[in-house]
Amino acid sequence: MSTIDFQFSKKQVEYLVYSLFVGAWVTDHELSTEKTEYKTEIEKLEQHVLGVAFNAKYFDWIEYDDNYGMYFVSQSKEEELIKQIIDTHNQDNFWIELEDQLSLRDIVKKYGKEKVENMDLEELAKERFEIMDQYTDEFEKHGIDRFYLKK
């Protein structure tokens, strides 16, 4: 296997660790439970970078667990990263997905499923974004205060 040497500042290593943590977290939590080559390689990369940072004594929040023979981000740093990055992403993604699904529902209701399936993609995207913008405005102004299920 050929290798490439990189030189990183301490700050760059810190953000590389954060990025790998988030990437590993997403692959562990969002992909199937089956161990794929992608998951395995992400885990190896994360372990390599954590090991280098741990051995360089860069951060006190990287720990080595003798029982597992693996490096880990400390629980407090993990909680901080989850709150700071992952929860924020999930919150933003929730609103985007909600607006997207509601806009599609409204377009299908307006034109019918068959017409929407055969609609020009540019026209569909334009209409969808216009409706999504209306939902964005609504949710930014009122959150879910005026969002009710009609029976």
pLDDT for 85 beyond 90: no
pLDDT at 97: 93
For residue 44, is it within any domain? Answer: yes
Q: How many domains does the chain have?
A: 2
Alpha carbons 105 and 112: distance in angstroms, whole number: 10
Q: What is the DSSP letter of 36?
A: -
Residue 64 DSSP SS3: strand
pLDDT at 24: 84
For residue 111, is it within any domain? Answer: yes
Alpha carbons 74 and 123: distance in angstroms, whole number: 49
Residue pair 97/89 in contact (Cβ under 8 Å)? The answer is no
pLDDT digit string, tens, across residues 59-83: 999 999 999 999 999 999 999 988 8
Q: Would the pTM count as exceeding 0.75?
A: no
pLDDT digit string, tens, across residues 100-151: 999 999 999 999 999 999 999 999 999 999 999 999 999 999 988 988 888 8
Residue pair 27/38 in contact (Cβ under 8 Å)? The answer is yes
Q: Are residues 20 and 68 in the same domain?
A: yes
pLDDT at 150: 83
**Confidence class of residue 31 from pLDDT cuts 50, 70 and 90?**
low
**Given the structure tokens 């390689």, which residue do they identify?**
41
> Which residue range(s) make up the domain with 40?
10-73
Domain boundary among 73, 106, 126: 73
pLDDT for 1 beyond 60: yes
Q: Are residues 54 and 96 in the same domain?
A: no
pLDDT for 39 beyond 90: no
